[in-house]
Structure 1
Amino acid sequence: MHEPMMVNGAPDDVGTPGRLVHRARRIVVKVGSSVSSDDTDHWGPITADIAWLHARGKQVVVVASGAVALGRAAWPPVGHRSPKERRACASVGQMRLTARLQHRFEAAGLRAAQVLVRHDDRVDPAAAPRLAALLDDLCIGGVVPILNEDDCHRIEGACFADNDQLAAWVAEVWSAQLLVFLTDVDGVFDRDPAKPDAQLLRHLGAAALHTVHAGGAEAGGKGTGGMRSKIEAARLAASQGCSSVIASGVRPAPISGNALTGRCTVIEAFAGQAGHDPRATRRTGEPVRDVMEA
């Protein structure tokens, strides 16, 4: 495979993932179904890298896919893949995913918490600041929040398109500086990564986000998204001041190794948006009214 290449003529020292990780205080890590539900448990290296980030003073939120795929593997229902079947598989798989993550995070010396969100939270004006406050409280307390959409109550047409979009929304409401997508390939390629002449695109500028070809699902075929969904989610995050890195979650040291050394694709926050805080209307320290207090 050829050496990684640039898009839009970005110089080597622009958007280096090491610099992005170094300056980010809040990081959202999205782990795809092809990584999370694989028979090979990739969560060990991922949680070790999250512990590595914690040791460097970073606050990390995880968006974890894989509940539906794990549910199908444990309890394969009879019939076609309907919304009803998806909700049932999510119910079974969420238990398996939670157990796997709890074991792995504890092995890495970390405490984790489960946070389920619904699509309605996206349109509820009170939901975003309430979620941001919860993530703040957990992270300040040294706990890693693990988010997922509540697929048990998923209504087709009234849900997040996939967890890539959920991750971008979480990055926005939490004012994260970096969004890391861990998938089963090294990043965005100029063609099918299975082809021997495929080249890894190390840097995608604003214009390239609308033109680069990235079709199809991830290699594992277990998720609802794909590379195009990740690029779109990264574009949304960039418009809100959050840079993104797309890297392999099936290689050793996915963040501390591959993502830091440039074996990945970088999408930087758009010019003029870096540092933008979409929660600027929420005053620091202002209490968020909880519905349980009503």
Structure 2
Amino acid sequence: MSSDEHQNAAQSAASNAARVAKRLVVKVGSAILCGPSDQGGGAVREAWLASLAADIAGLRQSGCEVVIVTSGAIALGRRRLGLSGALRLDEKQAASAAGQAALAQAWQAAFAPHDVAIAQILITLEDTESRRRYLNARATFRTLLDLGALPLVNENDTIATSEIRYGDNDRLAAHAAQLVESDLLIILSDIDGLYTSDPRKDSTAQHISVVDAITPEIENMAGGVNRDAGVGSGGMASKIAAAKIAGGAGCDTIIAPGLVDHPLKAVLDGGAATLFCASTTHDGARRQWIAGRLKPLGRLVIDEGAAKALQSGASLLPAGVKEITGAFSRGDAVEIVSANGALIGQGLSAYDAGEARKVAGAKSDKIEALLGYRRRPALVEKDDLILRSGP
């Protein structure tokens, strides 16, 4: 294969990844949305945003679910408040408060011709670190996507402090991709992907189309934050860090040029970009997380019939639970053991400990009467359960 053929094949890898994705997260930075500050940054590039909206509308019509992670609130708000230069934390939070409404309005205006409803979600690092808040956020995303809305995600800069921030929206986008179990994260950048060195400083820098694994060598290729843009806080290093986070959750990442019109169409058409391949699958990442990374906070003792049902691929219903120990909340990990104490598996509880004790041993049709409100019939869903493979 010639070098040109190899390059074309590599570029088509990003295009193919975008074409087969069923759920996609797109990250748009301040410098992309508003333009560099020396070019009038601080106002939304409306024509460009309209072209992106057309791309996304086309993807949605083809059956792909899309989530947007957008920066820009501070860039828009500082202009409205007349702030300039380096901002203090309280000034950034004030600018964010002033800019959030304008940011959401700009996105909704861009999607109005396509009859797409925008749903703004503001999150902080705690929302993905706290298990209960993580589950609530995931449920909100799933409901919005089921309803055909377009989730518009940004960090809640108005309340987040430096200690509880993601630090940049590249990492936020990676966590959002993890949260919604996205197939692909596309980070729109001011550059068309990863190079062996900073092409703005090194004319011999070579473009890399596919990264199979993020090694220390790959990480060393990243330069610092793109200060030339004048807005935003990301850079190639943060984008690679984001790709690493997403890849560990089973999600591929593409870094693609974002300043061009119709940037997603350009990726689909085989334009220059860098594809970072995921290091595992969604299922593999989830299984490893449930089985190996979560410390169980409770124990469910089940009868022989329930044990056989689990081995056949069923969920764990309250009727088969004989005893519950520990203090756990909904979404926490619990061990599942037989009556003689043998470990059967580990899963995520759909109930907190108090609720679980109320319904243990009860038939599914009695749950609402026992609790006083409706809950899902399974105590541990089959998709949230990892069975022990050996004796």
Give the conservation status (yes or no) of the 8 Å contact 2:11–2:272: no
Mapped pair 1:273 → 2:281: yes
Once the two structures are overlaid, the 10-residue window that deviates more, 246-255 or 273-282, is 273-282
Query: 2:80 and 2:157 mapped to 1: Cα distance?
Result: 17
Please identify which structure carries the higher helix content: 2
Once the two structures are overlaid, the 10-residue window that deviates more, 236-245 or 208-217, is 208-217
Tell me the residue number matched to 1:178: 184
Deviation at 1:18, TM superposition (A): 2.2
Tell me the residue number matched to 1:204: 211
Mapped pair 1:214 → 2:223: yes
Q: Find 2:25's aligned residue among 2, 24, 28.
A: 28
Deviation at 1:4, TM superposition (A): 9.1
- Matched to 2:281, the amino acid is Q
Residues 237-270 of structure 1: CA distance to partner in whole angstroms, max 9, x if unpaired? 1111100001111112211223541411110101
- Matched to 2:263, the amino acid is P
Query: 1:65 and 1:5 mapped to 2: Cα distance?
Result: 37
Tell me the residue number matched to 2:136: 130
- Matched to 1:147, the amino acid is V
TM-score normalised according to structure 1 size: 0.85
Q: Find 2:255's aligned residue among 224, 237, 246.
A: 246
Tell me the residue number matched to 2:34: 37
Paired residues in the alignment total 283
- Matched to 2:17, the amino acid is L
Change (3 A) 1:213 1:114: closer
Change (3 A) 1:194 1:131: same
Change (3 A) 1:23 1:181: same
Query: 2:284 and 2:22 mapped to 1: Cα distance?
Result: 14
Change (3 A) 1:116 1:5: farther
Query: 1:199 and 1:27 mapped to 2: Cα distance?
Result: 28
Deviation at 1:199, TM superposition (A): 3.0
Residues 30-72 of structure 1: CA distance to partner in whole angstroms, max 9, x if unpaired? 1011111224332111111111110110010100001101111
Mapped pair 1:149 → 2:158: no
Taking only the aligned residue pairs, the percentage that are identical comes to 30
Query: 2:76 and 2:284 mapped to 1: Cα distance?
Result: 37
Query: 2:5 and 2:49 mapped to 1: Cα distance?
Result: 29
Deviation at 1:21, TM superposition (A): 1.7
Backbone CA RMSD of aligned residues: 3.0
Tell me the residue number matched to 2:264: 255
Change (3 A) 1:11 1:249: closer
Give the conservation status (yes or no) of the 8 Å contact 1:164–1:229: yes
- Matched to 1:162, the amino acid is D
Residues 137-156 of structure 1: CA distance to partner in whole angstroms, max 9, x if unpaired? 11111110001111110211
User: Which entry has the higher C-alpha Rg, 1 or 2?
Assistant: 2
Change (3 A) 1:213 1:155: closer
Query: 2:74 and 2:106 mapped to 1: Cα distance?
Result: 14
- Equivalences for 1:69-88 in 2 at 5 Å? 69-77=75-83, 80-88=86-94
- Equivalences for 1:26-105 in 2 at 5 Å? 26-38=23-35, 39=43, 40-41=45-46, 42-77=48-83, 80-105=86-111
Mapped pair 1:19 → 2:16: yes
Give the conservation status (yes or no) of the 8 Å contact 1:115–1:148: yes
Tell me the residue number matched to 1:140: 146
Give the conservation status (yes or no) of the 8 Å contact 1:117–1:149: yes
Give the conservation status (yes or no) of the 8 Å contact 2:248–2:285: no
Deviation at 1:83, TM superposition (A): 0.4
The alignment partner of 1:186 has SS state of coil
Change (3 A) 1:193 1:219: farther
Mapped pair 1:225 → 2:234: yes
Query: 1:215 and 1:78 mapped to 2: Cα distance?
Result: 23
